[in-house]
């Protein structure tokens, strides 16, 4: 199916990616081509086929609900663009 520039604008918003108008119309073409490719899936009837989310069938492993990691807050926060007193800083969200 062919996507319109407006639809692409709305997808970009959902994905929180800022794009200028020229990019939006380019993407409308590119993404429509990709969707055309993936719609070849419709050539086969999959009624009743169990979806496969993951290779292997062992299921998710559980572990004991116990502390396993040491506190490394400073090291883990070091790559943050802006952090202070253990908090990540962002523009004010509550007036």
> Which of 2, 4, 6, 76 is close enough to bind another protein by CB under 8 A?
76
Number of Cβ within a 10 Å radius of residue 28 = 19
Could you give the C-alpha distances from 90 to 70, 81, 82, in angstroms and in order? 26, 10, 8
Check residue 46 for interaction with another protein (CB under 8 A): yes
The distance in angstroms from the start CA to the end CA of the chain is 43
Q: Min. distance of Cβ 93 from another protein in angstroms? A: 5
Check residue 56 for interaction with another protein (CB under 8 A): yes
Nearest-angstrom CA–CA distance, 25 and 32: 11
Check residue 22 for interaction with another protein (CB under 8 A): no
Cβ-contact 32, 5 below 8 angstroms: no
Residues that bind another protein (CB under 8 A): 3, 8, 11-12, 14-19, 23, 27, 30-31, 33-35, 37-44, 46, 49-56, 58, 60-61, 63, 68, 72, 75-82, 88, 90-93
């Amino acid at each position: 199916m062919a996507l319109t520039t407006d639809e692409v604008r709305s997808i970009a918003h959902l994905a929180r990616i800022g794009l200028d108008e020229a990019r939006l119309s380019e993407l409308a073409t590119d993404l429509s081509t990709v969707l055309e490719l993936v719609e070849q899936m419709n050539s086969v009837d999959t009624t009743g086929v169990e979806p496969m989310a993951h290779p292997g069938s062992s299921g998710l492993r559980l572990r004991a609900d116990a502390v396993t990691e040491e506190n490394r807050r400073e090291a883990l926060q070091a790559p943050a663009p802006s952090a202070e007193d253990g908090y990540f800083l962002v523009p004010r969200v509550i007036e």
